[in-house]
Structure 1
Amino acid sequence: MNRDSIFISHATPQDNEFSIWLTSRLEMLGYKVWIDKEGLLGGERFWVTIQQAIQSSAKVLFVYSKNIVTNEGILKQGIENEIEYAKSIALQFHIQDYIIPLHIDDSPYNLAIGLPNINHIPFNNNWAEGLKILKKKLEKDSIPQIFDTSKSVMAEWYENEYISNCSIIPKTELFYTSWWSVSDLPKEFYMYQFSNEVQAKAIRNSNQTIPVSLMSNVLSTFDAKLSFVVNRDDENIELKPVHTYIYSLNDILYGFESDKFPQHRDVENHFKRLLYRVVSNFLIYKGLWRNEMSNKRLAYFLPKYEKIKKIDFTYPYSNRKKSKSILGKFESIGMWHYAVSIQPMLFPFVGFSLKSHILFTSDGFKIIDDDKKQHSYRRKKGKRFFNEEWRDLLLAFLQRLKDDNEEIKIKVSQEGLVMKMKEWPEMFWSEVGYNDPNSKMDLDKIEDYYEEITEESND
């Protein structure tokens, strides 16, 4: 018999998500895969068809999870039938490593008789890493790659049964961007140049009640009356700047001519640096903590100071209310926290580009200091976050920054000048909309990992 396909045995419907993902990835790599589509769709399973599929398979991939047993800890009948039949085929035809368990969760290795002694491929931490190991095993055992990837039945089924229900539809809908704009600024921006960086740093340190940014020997601020007095050995010393530069917002946004420092690009950079300092200080003032990401950016998150409280808000242009928490418990591991990193920008709005993150702490404060665990937890927690979930987390995060007057205002000078932020991110109305997926089938595609795998195949 010509064994040229791969049989996937899994618990339905609990492990459909992983099984569909795996089938699509294997077919994209050129493997012919058999999966019980009737079981996926909730139809009647035909044992004769399943037997024939196992008989013609070069490998049986057993999706191993806590879902393969009943509440009483007994192997489910359909799973047991498939595995026992596969064992008989392996014994009859002397096939080595015919059954390959794919371990996708933290379940013990003794759920099925005989399988603890078979090497399990770990998918529980990272599906893509598990796929790489599986791919190497299939290549080592010379499993043929004969499938025409352009004729994937799974891809066709996936398109017809899932994607078509999540298409773009005609309807007027309000969309939210990740741009958070400044709504009001002081009219003038000041740059104070000192003889050296030591002097500039000393003056910045003596003006800690307002935001002042430092780049080299230049301080930037919105304060026209910065204090230039520092205390050294109980003596007040005045350190005046050698140059003072004053610019309007129009100067910064539309440019000006200069053949010496500061040129327009210098002023832009100092202005954006100050914007970052203003909002960074404000977020810390509002009780947020900072965490340095792998790309060196800082992400701001709310620790668990007290009992977890939801943030109440009403959507703009609507009476619809929402309550949302931006942190919570995560299994037995600790806490998850919604976090935001900020990037100053001048176009198309003066403000910030916001990027959303999920961080994990062991106790509500201490970040779990293991990048692999953070990545694994982030995928597990975030894989069910669609557009609406991310949007609501961002909106709740911003609403928490409001003062008692329902405004987001930041003091930027000793005389009480403020920088005011909009209470919502930038929005726009569209004449078309999109239905967020409400199915698990579209989760964890991880295209970047797949590209890496296909690159390895072409080496």
Structure 2
Amino acid sequence: MPDLASEAVAADKPQDVIRESIFISHATPEDNAFTLWLGNRLDAMGYDVWADIFRLKGGDNWEVILEHAIRNLAAKVLVVSNPVSVTKQGVRNEISIALATGKGIKDDSFVIPLRTAEYESSYQIVHAQRVDFGGGWAQGLRDLLETLDAAGIPRRGVSERSQIWREISQRDGRNVVETSERLVSNWLRVKALPRDLRIYDFAGGISIGAKDRAIESCSLPLVPRGRGFLSFASPPALHEHFGDDLPISITGMVETEEFLTRGAPGYRIDVSDARRHLVDLMRKGFDRRLEHARLRSTEMANGRHMWWPERDLVGLEKKAFACNEGPSGRRHLVGQSKARNLFWHYGLSMWPATTPFIHFRLSGHVIFTVDGRSTVGDASRMHKMRRTMCKSWRNDRWRDLMLAYLAWVAGDASELSIDMGGDAVIKLELPPVQFDVPFGLEGETPTAEEQDDEETRDILASSDEEPDFEDENDADILEDED
């Protein structure tokens, strides 16, 4: 363990000290979680990181040590900025020292505010270029790393303070032990696709505008191509939609498996386009399946649809779920916060993928309503509510909600069928893909029933604190790219 007090008083000649450290100024204890998250990542990337969180170790005169770090060691000072931190006297003192130091070393960008929530800028740092963490900690970290790299801040591998970061991070942690554990992913394996993909054309010819309107209004999953479209649907099923006014004909048919591996060269469709078309058909089919289940749809910023149940559809009772040799229990899909006079609704968005095998990847979300139907406010307000009311939801809870949702939609069946039109059906395997691993965390994980009381308090609590995690669902077991 480095002697930090000795290090602080040893620099009688500051010009002999090389500035290569990153100092994080933050509110204690309000910003400890964010600072620990950020400090660990910067330390892992080779930066020498200082922070007030070190005082958790106790002992030395930390005011002297931290002031020395700012005046003589820091290459940059990061200020965690939000309505709480900018009013803390300790943070304001560190900003004053940092601004004076930046002026002395002629570095106008010595202080870098990190915005974690909207705030009125302190007069001291109002002109400083800030890095935004409000839209997501991961994106903020990427922008910060670009800023540090552009400033030429050195990385020197493992720092003398790495041991402190590790000890603080592990202080309340559990050890990894050798034990068999089954993990539930958020991947739904596709058991079966329709055997053939059909290539259609409008037999009598049609204008581009009329074609687009006809395809857009069709309730069956279609993908536009040339003068016609691609679909798994049978001709009789499509005729019910287009009728005699828009006669269609099949100009080609290709086996789905061959379409995935070779495309359709005779129709100028290469493999990459074939996979893109298939993903689009699968997505439209899943959306149609959830729409027929009378779920509400909300379009997200990425263009995907999130599907959630109204209160009258599923009520406030718990929904049962069970996994083969995995977790089981009961969960609410809709809940009520009497303290805030609103309802929360669990929903899912999904995206198909063709590698490493054909599957749907699911993402969990929460939406809020005032009466079980009408959503609350705009997207910005919804985002803030989600990050405050759901901040203590653990991955186990997100997993259980996903399983309860799927069990309810499928009616407790072992597969989920998606009607693609006529005799064409996509079959999804339930429950989601599971993995057995030979290790786990020491100690038992509370069951769904045991967590209910604690989680109900979390939901009903009125709190404007920022969450101590970045994403509302981080349950991916694997990563993939098409």
- Which deviates further from its counterpart, 327-336 or 246-255? 327-336
Preserved contact between residue 188 and residue 248 of structure 1 (Cα < 8 Å): yes
Q: 1:402 Cα deviation (Å)? A: 1.3
1:267/1:367 CA distance change after superposition, 3 Å: farther
The whole-number CA distance in structure 2 between the counterparts of 1:429 and 1:376 is: 36
Q: Which amino acid aligns with 1:50?
A: E
Q: 1:193 Cα deviation (Å)? A: 2.6
Q: 1:302 Cα deviation (Å)? A: 0.8
1:456 match: none
Q: Kindly provide the CA deviation profile for residues 169-216 of structure 1, in whole angstroms up to 9, marking residues without a partner as x.
A: 4332223344322334555544333244558668768974x5555434
Q: Give the TM-score normalised by the residue count of structure 2.
A: 0.59
Q: Give the TM-score normalised by the residue count of structure 1.
A: 0.62
Q: 1:279 Cα deviation (Å)? A: 1.4
Q: Kindly provide the CA deviation profile for residues 50-103 of structure 1, in whole angstroms up to 9, marking residues without a partner as x.
A: 34543664299886778789xxxxx9xxx86x679879999x99x999999988
Aligned residues: 408
Residue in structure 2 matching 1:426, options 410, 416, 433: 433
2:7 match: none
The whole-number CA distance in structure 1 between the counterparts of 2:23 and 2:265 is: 71
1:17 match: 33
The whole-number CA distance in structure 2 between the counterparts of 1:220 and 1:178 is: 27
2:266 match: 260
RMSD: 5.8
Preserved contact between residue 222 and residue 229 of structure 2 (Cα < 8 Å): no
1:400 match: 408
The whole-number CA distance in structure 2 between the counterparts of 1:131 and 1:412 is: 41
The whole-number CA distance in structure 1 between the counterparts of 2:366 and 2:328 is: 29
Matches within 5 A, 1:150-299: 150-162=157-169, 169-195=177-203, 196=205, 208=219, 211-216=221-226, 217-223=228-234, 225-226=236-237, 228=239, 237=244, 239-252=246-259, 260-261=266-267, 265=271, 271-295=278-302, 297-299=303-305
In the alignment, structure 1 residue 50 sits paired with structure 2 residue 82: no
The whole-number CA distance in structure 2 between the counterparts of 1:86 and 1:207 is: 62
In the alignment, structure 1 residue 343 sits paired with structure 2 residue 349: no
Identity %: 20
2:331 match: 323
Determine helix, strand or coil for the equivalent of 1:237: coil
Q: 1:168 Cα deviation (Å)? A: 5.8
Q: 1:411 Cα deviation (Å)? A: 3.7
Q: Which amino acid aligns with 2:165?
A: Y
Q: Kindly provide the CA deviation profile for residues 252-273 of structure 1, in whole angstroms up to 9, marking residues without a partner as x.
A: 45659x7633767577665544
Determine helix, strand or coil for the equivalent of 1:181: strand
Higher Cα Rg, which structure:
1
1:428/1:260 CA distance change after superposition, 3 Å: same
In the alignment, structure 1 residue 353 sits paired with structure 2 residue 360: yes
The whole-number CA distance in structure 2 between the counterparts of 1:322 and 1:357 is: 17
Preserved contact between residue 318 and residue 333 of structure 2 (Cα < 8 Å): yes
Matches within 5 A, 1:52-71: 53-54=66-67, 57-58=70-71
Preserved contact between residue 336 and residue 344 of structure 2 (Cα < 8 Å): yes
Preserved contact between residue 181 and residue 421 of structure 1 (Cα < 8 Å): yes
Q: For structure 1, list consecutive stretches of 5 or more residues without a partner in the other structure.
A: 70-74, 110-115, 446-459
1:172/1:263 CA distance change after superposition, 3 Å: same
Determine helix, strand or coil for the equivalent of 2:306: strand
1:158/1:355 CA distance change after superposition, 3 Å: farther
The whole-number CA distance in structure 1 between the counterparts of 2:268 and 2:96 is: 80
Preserved contact between residue 49 and residue 161 of structure 2 (Cα < 8 Å): no
Q: For structure 2, list consecutive stretches of 5 or more residues without a partner in the other structure.
A: 1-11, 446-465, 472-482
1:453 match: none
Preserved contact between residue 333 and residue 362 of structure 1 (Cα < 8 Å): yes
The whole-number CA distance in structure 2 between the counterparts of 1:228 and 1:84 is: 71
The whole-number CA distance in structure 1 between the counterparts of 2:78 and 2:285 is: 55
The whole-number CA distance in structure 1 between the counterparts of 2:117 and 2:308 is: 29
1:112 match: none
Matches within 5 A, 1:40-119: 41=57, 44=58, 48-51=61-64, 53-54=66-67, 57-58=70-71, 118-119=124-125
In the alignment, structure 1 residue 302 sits paired with structure 2 residue 308: yes
Q: Which amino acid aligns with 2:406?
A: L
